[in-house]
């Protein structure tokens, strides 16, 4: 039985197969409408989410399966003190596969170790968010045609942003990728990641101003400041509007640069940017459904 905890759990060849399947699903979704007939997905979300939970549910429904679950810890037995290990053993009796989001780093991994069904990490604290990374890679592959040979700027909360951590680790396996980390000093990328990049001989730069590097980028990955992971509100208020991508700043960027964002957006991209052809974040959300359909099929051995 296979779980997905980290984007590196799949080799690049396996990812290629997954993306090809997701691409085929995107071209002819109806062909897959009964692949998961009789199967059930449980979504166990101990932390708020719109996209991830609903895109998993949408993915399972489009495959003909059923969904059940909870969307906050307070409406589950966690509120009574049940451990994730016990919860997953019980969920294993009700469903065939589980997507779990948890505010504590490593919780889905603990669940996986006790589970009778495949578990997908749908975000664990500030650690990893592998299915967002699959979404991001699929978007880049679809819109640029390749997962190698580009400069990507990651901008915003690089300290707490789990989507950033997962994406960097996943991209490190592809060729000729240069990273530019754009953040205020307080929210800089964790040292363990820059150490990994240095050890692997991968080029990266750290900068504070978006305007200084936007012109060099093939992809700009914007992120929101992760309010829920701050220890005090004052720091959040001081940092939350550090970066705002406006139409004016976008004039400094290349004509074919892609703007990605895992969403939800707060203020970091002004709405006027949504109409720019370079804005790809809503397309990205659509790719997220296809790639989750492909993932559910793969983990259930139905591909």
By the criterion CB under 6 A, which residues form the site for ligand NCD?
51-52, 123, 129, 132, 162-163, 224, 262-264
CA distances from 71 to 14, 44, 102 (A): 30, 7, 11
Give 92 or 139: the residue with its C-beta nearer to ligand NCD.
139
Cβ 286 to ligand NCD shortest distance, Å: 13
Cβ 171 to ligand NCD shortest distance, Å: 17
CA distances from 296 to 28, 43, 64, 282 (A): 17, 12, 12, 22
Distance CA 182, CA 85 (A): 38
Give 92 or 121: the residue with its C-beta nearer to ligand NCD.
121
Cβ 44 to ligand NCD shortest distance, Å: 15
Give 96 or 157: the residue with its C-beta nearer to ligand NCD.
157
Cβ 224 to ligand NCD shortest distance, Å: 4
Looking from the CA of 169 toward its CB, the CA atoms found within 13 Å total 22
Cβ 251 to ligand NCD shortest distance, Å: 26
Cβ 123 to ligand NCD shortest distance, Å: 5
CA distances from 193 to 52, 129, 197 (A): 25, 15, 6
Residue that has been written with the tokens 């650690």 in this structure = 127
Give 46 or 92: the residue with its C-beta nearer to ligand NCD.
46
Give 134 or 147: the residue with its C-beta nearer to ligand NCD.
134
Q: Where are the alpha helices (DSSP H) in 162-209?
A: 162-171, 191-199
Q: Considering Cα of 256, then 12, then 130, then 210, what sign does the dihedral take?
A: negative
Distance CA 58, CA 61 (A): 5
Give 52 or 115: the residue with its C-beta nearer to ligand NCD.
52
């Amino acid at each position: 039985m296979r779980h997905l905890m980290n984007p590196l759990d799949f080799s690049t060849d396996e990812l290629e197969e997954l993306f090809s399947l997701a691409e085929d699903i995107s071209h002819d979704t109806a062909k897959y409408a009964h692949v998961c007939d009789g199967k059930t997905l449980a979504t166990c979300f101990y932390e708020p989410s719109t996209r991830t939970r609903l895109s998993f549910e949408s993915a399972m429904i489009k495959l003909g399966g059923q969904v059940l679950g909870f969307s906050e810890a307070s409406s589950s037995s966690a509120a009574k003190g049940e451990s994730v290990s016990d919860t997953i053993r019980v969920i294993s009796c009700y469903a065939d596969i589980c997507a779990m989001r948890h505010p504590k780093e490593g919780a889905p991994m603990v669940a996986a170790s006790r589970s009778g069904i495949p578990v997908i990490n749908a975000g664990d604290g500030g650690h990893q968010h592998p299915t967002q990374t699959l979404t991001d890679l699929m978007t880049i592959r679809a819109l640029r045609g390749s997962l190698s040979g580009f400069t990507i700027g990651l901008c915003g909360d690089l300290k707490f942003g789990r989507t950033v951590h997962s994406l960097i680790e996943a991209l490190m396996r592809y060729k000729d990728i240069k990273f530019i980390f754009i953040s205020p000093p307080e929210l800089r990328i964790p040292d363990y990641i820059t150490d990994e990049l240095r050890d692997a001989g991968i080029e990266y730069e750290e900068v504070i101003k978006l305007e200084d590097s936007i012109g060099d980028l093939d992809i700009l990955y914007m992120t929101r400041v992760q309010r829920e992971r701050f220890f005090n509100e004052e720091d959040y208020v001081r940092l939350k509007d550090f970066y705002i991508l406006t139409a004016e700043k976008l004039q400094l960027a290349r004509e074919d640069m892609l703007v990605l964002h895992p969403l939800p957006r707060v203020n970091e991209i002004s709405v006027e940017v949504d109409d720019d052809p370079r804005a790809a974040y809503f397309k990205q959300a659509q790719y997220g459904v296809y790639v989750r359909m492909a993932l559910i099929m793969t983990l259930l051995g139905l591909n």
